[in-house]
Structure 1
Amino acid sequence: MRIGKQDQAFTAIATSDADSITVRGYDLVDELIGEIDFTDYFWLLVLGERPTDKQRRMMNACLVSIAEHGLVPSVQAARMTLAAAPEAWQGAMSAGLLGMGSVVAGSSEIAGRYLAEVIARAKNEGKDIETAAIESLQALKEARKKVPGLGHPQHSAGDPRVDRLLEIADKNGVSGVYIETLRVLAKHAPGIINRPLPINVSGAIPAAILDAGWPLDALKAVPLLARTAGLAAHLYEEAQRSIGFIMSNEADLAIAYDGEPSKKTRETKAARD
């Protein structure tokens, strides 16, 4: 069955023949293996060109900042999957990555798209960033929606990773309209929303990497790649000293059943009473 357009039968990423493998216009063996680090290769694969020094530093900083964050739900899912199926690293890794949604890790994309919306609003309506940001915050308040990229349940006084990422962006001349917009939102959000709303790492990462030239539509790839490294660490540790079943048991103990009792339970209780 033919579904969708059938007139773009091309890829610009890689090809091979009997004698060579070509990736983004480079010979894999002679020009890439042993000659390029993985961050550069990641950038090259996605964008088709190697990053500048500034872009490399910013991407490296973003990847390091988000790779590991403890026993978050996606990590627990991965570790419990490996405990149940120790032969299935790919299944456990998939379980962890599939758990990266709008609340954990995937929130970077949401924040990035929100920043882009505010910037587009300013441009399309002929307003400055500050005016567009204030209007957007007021609209979020009226709709009782959260401000993407701001606020943190643990780091209420400010996410320590944010200052470092923005410092690197400023120092390397990366900071542009996305970081400007993020800072303006952080300036006005507490007064409009009426509670502390510091910038979180899910706001800093998209602002910094988008200003560095990374495409908005590939934004989710950054936390996905970073968390894959963190998951690899957890899965290796899980294979060495498992805590998957411990977490499962603790969850069972922590969650009380509040559904309907069985007939036998009701009869037993009635007999005691």
Structure 2
Amino acid sequence: MRIGKQDQAITSIATSDDKSITVRGHDLCSELIGKIEFVDYFWLLVIGKTPTNEQRMMTNACLVAIAEHGLVPSVQAARMTLAAGPDSWQGAISAGLLGMGTVVAGSSEIAGRFVVDIVKKCADGRDIEEVCRESLERIKAERQKVPGLGHPQHSAGDPRADVLLKLADTHGISGEHIQVLRMLAKLAPDIINRPLPINVSGAIPAVMLDAGWPVDAMKGIPLLARAAGLVAHLFEESQRSIGFIMSHQADQAIAYEESETSEFAHGHQQPKGRTL
């Protein structure tokens, strides 16, 4: 059964034969291994060309900023998975990455698209403050969270975001996406009725977009970074396990409450299964 588009059966990333491996037109063994840094290789793989000095610096900074934030839910999922299956590193890494959703660690893409949409609306000459205000008022009316703003722990301001934005300013990277993000943060308190400082998941897409990284690949930045952090947690888990400690603490902290709507809560017997 044929599903989806069937034309353009091509790839421009890599190919190999019995004697060589070619990546984006470069011989892997003679041109890349030992001659290129990983961030440069990452840009080459995704974009098709190596980054400028400023792009390299900004990418490194973003990866370092988001790689680790303690025992967040995705890390706990990974460590408990490894505790239950010590031979399944790939499963534990997957559990951690799958936990990077729209609430914790994985919201950079959403914030990036939000900022890009505002930039596009301003492209025809509309005032940036007007468009940002309209966007915030719409979000308030829909009772949604503002992408890229606010943090449950760093409520007074996310220090990671501050450093990333300062780096972008210092190295001449700051452009229209950072301008939009800062305008949103400026207007948000009056419209949303509470302070909403820029968070790291807002700063990362803003600085990377201004650096030339595509929004369609934005989620790859936190995914790559957190994969490195998860490796650290899984190695520690293999040496000094806390996975079952976390599981036990969760079991102790959560109370059982019988559902009043359950038929079994009202004296009904569970139907007996048919014996085959």
TM-score band, normalised by shorter chain: over 0.9
- Per-residue deviation, 1:94: 0.5
Residue identity opposite 1:144 in structure 2: R
CA 1:264/1:179 → structure 2, altered by over 3 Å: closer, same or farther? closer
Instruction: Give the structure-1-normalised TM-score.
Output: 0.94
CA–CA separation in structure 2 for the residues paired with 1:24 and 1:263: 61
> Is 1:90 the counterpart of 2:90 in the alignment?
yes
CA–CA separation in structure 2 for the residues paired with 1:154 and 1:10: 46
Residue identity opposite 2:201 in structure 1: S
CA–CA separation in structure 1 for the residues paired with 2:232 and 2:17: 36
CA–CA separation in structure 1 for the residues paired with 2:64 and 2:204: 11
Residue identity opposite 2:153 in structure 1: Q
Residue identity opposite 2:238 in structure 1: A
- Per-residue deviation, 1:145: 1.3
CA–CA separation in structure 2 for the residues paired with 1:263 and 1:117: 49
Partner SS for 1:197: coil
- Residue number in structure 2 paired with 1:119: 119
Long gaps (5+) in structure 1: 268-273
- Residue number in structure 1 paired with 2:253: 254
CA 1:253/1:55 → structure 2, altered by over 3 Å: closer, same or farther? same
Partner SS for 2:123: helix
- Residue number in structure 2 paired with 1:148: 147
- Residue number in structure 1 paired with 2:274: none
- Residue number in structure 1 paired with 2:219: 220
CA–CA separation in structure 2 for the residues paired with 1:157 and 1:18: 57
CA–CA separation in structure 1 for the residues paired with 2:21 and 2:265: 67
Deviates further, 72-81 or 254-263: 254-263
Q: C-alpha deviations, 1:78-125, integer Å up to 9, x for none?
A: 00000000000000000001111001111111111110111122225x
- Residue number in structure 2 paired with 1:55: 55
CA–CA separation in structure 1 for the residues paired with 2:91 and 2:218: 24
1:53-202 alignment, distance < 5 Å: 53-124=53-124, 126-202=125-201
Percent identity (aligned) = 70
Residue identity opposite 1:74 in structure 2: S
Residue identity opposite 1:56 in structure 2: R
Q: C-alpha deviations, 1:182-205, integer Å up to 9, x for none?
A: 001111101111101000001000
Q: Contact 2:165/2:207 (CA < 8 Å) preserved in 1?
A: yes
> Is 1:23 the counterpart of 2:14 in the alignment?
no
CA–CA separation in structure 1 for the residues paired with 2:16 and 2:166: 42
CA–CA separation in structure 2 for the residues paired with 1:180 and 1:43: 24
Residue identity opposite 1:250 in structure 2: Q
CA 1:20/1:128 → structure 2, altered by over 3 Å: closer, same or farther? same
CA–CA separation in structure 1 for the residues paired with 2:150 and 2:60: 24
Q: C-alpha deviations, 1:29-56, integer Å up to 9, x for none?
A: 0110000011110111000000000000
CA–CA separation in structure 1 for the residues paired with 2:233 and 2:17: 38
Partner SS for 2:174: coil
- Per-residue deviation, 1:77: 0.3
Instruction: Give the structure-2-normalised TM-score.
Output: 0.93
- Per-residue deviation, 1:214: 0.4
CA–CA separation in structure 1 for the residues paired with 2:75 and 2:114: 27
- Residue number in structure 2 paired with 1:243: 242
Partner SS for 2:230: helix
Q: C-alpha deviations, 1:137-191, integer Å up to 9, x for none?
A: 1111111111110011111111111111011111111111100000011111011
CA–CA separation in structure 2 for the residues paired with 1:50 and 1:106: 25
- Residue number in structure 2 paired with 1:270: none
Query: What RMSD in Å do the two structures reach over aligned CA positions?
Result: 1.8
CA 1:128/1:259 → structure 2, altered by over 3 Å: closer, same or farther? same
CA–CA separation in structure 1 for the residues paired with 2:264 and 2:101: 41
Q: Contact 2:258/2:265 (CA < 8 Å) preserved in 1?
A: no
Residue identity opposite 2:134 in structure 1: E
CA–CA separation in structure 2 for the residues paired with 1:30 and 1:165: 35
CA–CA separation in structure 2 for the residues paired with 1:263 and 1:191: 49
CA–CA separation in structure 2 for the residues paired with 1:100 and 1:45: 23
